[in-house]
Amino acid sequence: MGTDGDACVDAHSGDCRGQVRGHASLGGTGAIIMRCDHHYGLALERAAAIDRRYPPHPPQDFDFLDAGEHWYEDLSR
């Protein structure tokens, strides 16, 4: 980490391939993440796996009162 803003964020793993480009954050924050083609592909797979684990809607037994928090990150939209 340092001043090299064009480096892939996963460059430490040492198997970067393709062109490093800015991609919109997969977390939906709107941040731009620098990733090479190879690691962007891996990130997409990771995001897909997370989507499967945490569905967009609360499970039927999810109780907002018990959890004390919101299922949706941003209720203002």
For Zn ion, the binding residues (CB under 5 A) are 8, 10, 16, 36, 39
| Residue 53 burial (CB count, 10 A) | 6
Say if residues 33 and 23 touch (Cβ distance below 8 Å): yes
Taking the complex as a whole, the smallest distance from the CB of residue 71 to Zn ion amounts, in Å, to 33
Q: Are 35 and 54 in contact (CB under 8 A)?
A: no
When the beta carbons of 45 and 71 are compared against Zn ion, the nearer one is 45
- Shortest Å distance, C-beta 44 to Zn ion: 13
Q: Specify which residues 27 forms β-bridges with.
A: none
Residue 22 vs 70, nearer CB to Zn ion: 22
The smaller minimum CB distance to Zn ion, of residues 5 and 56, is found at: 5
The least CB distance from residue 41 to Zn ion, in Å, is 10
Helix (H, G, I), strand (E, B) or coil at 28: coil
